[in-house]
Amino acid sequence: MDIDEIELRRLDLTVLLVFVNLMRLRKASDVADHMGLTQSSISHSIKRLRDAFGDPLFLRTPKGMEPTAVALGMEPKIRSVVETLSQAISTPVVFNPATSTDILRIGAFDNEMTTLVPRFLQMVRAEAPGMRVSILPLGRRPAIDALEQGDIDLALGFAWNLPRSIRQAKLYDESYSVVMRQGHPLAQKQMTLEIYTAAEHLIVSPRGDHTGIVDEELVKCGQVRRVTMAVPQFLPALAIVATTDLISTLPSRLVASQAERYRLLFFPPPVEIRPFTVTAMLHERNSNSPMHQWAISALSEIARDAPLS
């Protein structure tokens, strides 16, 4: 779109910031709170944007302000302008958790929601009581997409082949444990490879697959296990194992943290399975943000203290 200089002068930095924050938060009231403006000021800024670009830009829906195709197309360029201006004129930002009213949005699968998020929220309540936190149930690819689009601030989990724009901070290395209910017929037996492969297995697979990393390692040994059920998340897997004779091979920290609650037994697997690294991921645009650095530091401290198998 071509905009003449008269129109361009109408788009001051506040109006551009309103646009960027509406794209991120999707609610005018949240933008007003975040920017310390009144809702009438936000409405006035939206009108100026619509007049300048000749498009509604944001449509009101039950879920909030839905951007139009024109708004989606403009967003990367306007965000780039705002970030460039911010870098040019900014002074070092000081983040004080005790007085922060920021909104922190985290994408995570239920493994990290269970092992990291509860203690992180406790820390937020203690150190940053004015901060608001939203947790979104996002797997690897949706979480990365959300980071790139500015829909979340951090993503937690295991990821590979990341875009160059995504930064990672290591939280911990994770291994696996074999888990079964107390009183399981195999509970008193040594978990040999033969007994392990003969048992009925439950696998966690968001796509419903009946094979995974364990099966890849078993093939190297010339072995195959009996996977009879797949569920998309870890907590349902624990609940099912707790009430059936199925066994499962799950992340060790998750199992150790939930074994007593679900009355479960757990053992090292009889086959070597390569560990994986759980990280906190953020977009490069936030790599120097004190608020993001504080959150990652808090998560790292929690990860160091998490129960080990």
The verdict on 59 and 208 lying in the same domain is no
Q: Mark whether 239 and 183 lie in a shared domain.
A: yes
**Mean pLDDT score, 100-113:** 94
Same domain, 32 and 49: yes
Element (H, E) at 154: strand 154-157
**Sorting pLDDT into bands at 50, 70 and 90, what band is 156?**
very high
Q: What is the CATH number of the domain that holds 219?
A: 3.40.190.10
| Count of C-beta atoms within a 10 Å radius of residue 138 | 21
Q: Of 89, 118, 139, which one is at a domain's C-terminal end?
A: 89
How many separate domains does the chain show?
A: 3
Mean pLDDT of all residues in 128-132: 95
Range name among 19-28, 174-183, 257-266 with the lowest pLDDT average: 19-28
Mean local confidence (pLDDT), 166-182: 96
Q: What is the pLDDT of residue 306?
A: 63
* Helices within the chain (DSSP H only): 5-9, 13-25, 28-35, 39-53, 69-89, 110-115, 117-127, 140-149, 193-198, 213-220, 234-243, 252-262, 290-305
Are residue 190 and residue 268 in the same domain, yes or no? yes
| 217 shares a domain with 161 | no
pLDDT confidence of 90, banded at 50, 70, 90?
low
Segment 183-212 shows an average pLDDT of: 94
Q: What pLDDT does residue 83 have?
A: 80
**The pLDDT of residue 143 is above 70:** yes
Looking at the structure, tell me whether residues 105 and 39 fall in a common domain. Answer: no
Q: What is the pLDDT of residues 214-258, one digit of tens each?
A: 999 999 999 999 999 999 999 999 999 999 999 999 999 999 999
Q: Give me the sign of the Cα torsion angle 13, 16, 20, 25.
A: positive
**At 277, is the pLDDT very low, low, confident or very high (cuts 50, 70, 90)?**
very high
Residues 130 and 260 in one domain: no
Specify whether 194 is located in the same domain as 267: yes
Q: Are residues 228 and 245 in the same domain?
A: yes
Final residue of a structural domain among 64, 89, 114: 89
Same domain, 164 and 287: yes
pLDDT value at position 1?
47
Reported as a single tens digit per residue, the pLDDT across 41-71 is 999 999 988 988 889 999 999 888 999 999 9
**Predicted pLDDT at 77:** 87
CATH number of 47's domain:
1.10.10.10
Handedness of CA 64, 68, 71, 72 (dihedral sign): positive
pTM, whole model, 2 decimals? 0.70
| The pLDDT of residue 268 | 96
> Which domain covers residue 233, as residue numbers?
176-273
User: Cα(233)–Cα(60) distance, rounded to whole angstroms?
Assistant: 33
Provide the angle, in degrees to the nearest 10, between the axes of the packed helices 13-25 and 69-89. 120
Say if residue 36 is in the same domain as residue 168.
Answer: no
pLDDT in the model for residue 309: 41
- Distance, C-alpha 125 to centroid of its chain: 19
Task: Place 5 in a pLDDT band, splitting at 50, 70 and 90.
Answer: low
Residue finishing a domain among 44, 61, 89: 89
Same domain as 208, residue 190: yes
The answer to whether the beta carbons of residues 201 and 246 sit under 8 Å apart is yes
Q: What are 177's two structure tokens?
A: 């444990």
